[in-house]
Amino acid sequence: MKNKLSDLNDHLFAQLERLSDEDLTPEQIEVESKRGEALVNVADQIIRNAELTFKASTFVAQHGDRFRPALSGLIGKSVTVETSDE
């Protein structure tokens, strides 16, 4: 499974739609509310991880390749930075 941040956005909006359903019973609203809280908790972790990856890539781009090995170990995969000559 390959998820992207855009998929996370889709899940969050789908949850918002479920919570906005005016036909829900109070019990269903409670279930959806708990599901929403769990979704937000997971989303927060995903966003933090993406932010760390971005910061590591930015650091390599700004300070050169000499830090790449250390950062690669930190985030568990190789840090790649693509540059353009524009």
Question: Per-residue pLDDT averaged across 78-86, rounded?
Answer: 48
The closest of 48, 42, 46, 74 to 60, measured between CA atoms, is: 74
**pTM of the shown model:** 0.66
Domain for residue 50, yes or no? yes
Is residue 32 included in any domain, yes or no? yes
Contact 60, 68 (CB under 8 A): yes
The residue range of the domain holding 45 is 5-16+26-71
Is 86 inside any structural domain? Answer: no
What total of structural domains would you count in the chain?
A: 1
The whole-angstrom separation of Cα 31 and Cα 25 is 10
20's CB contacts (< 8 A; 6+ apart) are: none
Q: Answer yes or no: is 79 within a domain.
A: no
User: Is the Cα torsion angle 51, 7, 43, 2 positive or negative in sign?
Assistant: negative
85 in a domain, yes or no? no
- Domain membership of residue 82 (yes or no) is no
pLDDT tens digits, 25-77: 999 999 999 999 999 999 999 999 889 888 888 877 787 777 667 666 665 55
Give me the pLDDT at residue 81, please.
Answer: 46
Residue 41 falls within a domain, yes or no? yes
